[in-house]
Amino acid sequence: MARRISRKISNSTIHRLSIYYRALMGLEREGYDTISSKELAKREKLTPAQVRKDLSFFGSFGTRGLGYPVKELKQRIAEILGLNRLWNVAMVGVGNVGSALVSYKEFARQGFIIKLLFDNDQRKIGSNHKGIIISDIANMKSQLKENEITIVILTVPASAAQKVCDDIVEAGVKAILNFAPVSLKVPDDVNLLNENMAIELEHLSFSLTNRNMVMFD
């Protein structure tokens, strides 16, 4: 079913796929069978041309004049994003950010199941956090393998992040979402995404500072 894709894709396009996916979930709930690129664009403050370009990237959808079939398009985007399956996720570092993220309901809703929690704090190890026993980070490498963890959320302090990251990579994990405010080195075949909340605020301070500038996605 899924076509083999071997082209370059911008990170912005991938991000918009997630946006379209959520819009289509809403449209399905509202009872829509089809949606035009124009209407989908309007809802997400994009141009119809952008929507058509993004979606045509993955093959042809929709019929001219009739729009996209909501259910099928949603299902196809789910396949493309890898949301038609479950992903075993581990969280390393159960501090402020980590413990907040464990409670983030949308992870499980999208198929990201937090299976393991790790920390190096003896007071935390062995305790139950939202239904998951916190494991000793000393056992992380073997447990990541045994539990077939494919994605790790890294929420350790900046000073510890590279060492922990190296261990995660050695355990064979190919996808890391890093919250530590530090630039990590990983091999080319590991997908590293850096999440920095301050950078989001900088986007807003940019907007407030440059009010005469038009931003586009």
Residue 63 CB, nearest approach to a copy of itself (Å)? 26
Contacts with 70 (C-beta within 8 Å, 6 or more apart), sequence order: 24, 27, 28, 32, 33, 34, 35
Q: Return the residues of window 50-89 that contact a copy of itself according to CB under 8 A.
A: 79-83, 87, 89
Q: Return the residues of window 6-25 that contact a copy of itself according to CB under 8 A.
A: 6-12, 14-15, 17-19, 21-23
User: Which residue from 82, 84, 88 is spatially nearest to 148, judged by alpha carbons?
Assistant: 88
The reply on whether position 215 binds a copy of itself by CB under 8 A is yes
Which position among 26, 59, 126, 172 is part of the footprint of a copy of itself (CB under 8 A)?
26
Distances (CA, A) of 129 to 25, 44, 90, 145, 202: 31, 37, 13, 22, 33
- For a copy of itself, give the closer residue by CB, 81 or 132: 81
Contacts with 95 (C-beta within 8 Å, 6 or more apart), sequence order: 119, 155, 156, 157
Place of tokens 């911008």: 10
Give the per-residue contact string, 91-130, with a copy of itself (x = CB under 8 A; - = no): -----xx-xxx-xx-xx-xxxx------------------
Record the tokens describing residue 156, joined without a space: 């350790």
Place of tokens 């890093």: 178
Q: How far apart are CA 37 and CA 48, in angstroms?
A: 5
The reply on whether position 214 binds a copy of itself by CB under 8 A is yes
- For a copy of itself, give the closer residue by CB, 163 or 203: 203
The reply on whether position 200 binds a copy of itself by CB under 8 A is yes
- For a copy of itself, give the closer residue by CB, 45 or 64: 45
Give the per-residue contact string, 130-159, with a copy of itself (x = CB under 8 A; - = no): --------------------xx-x------
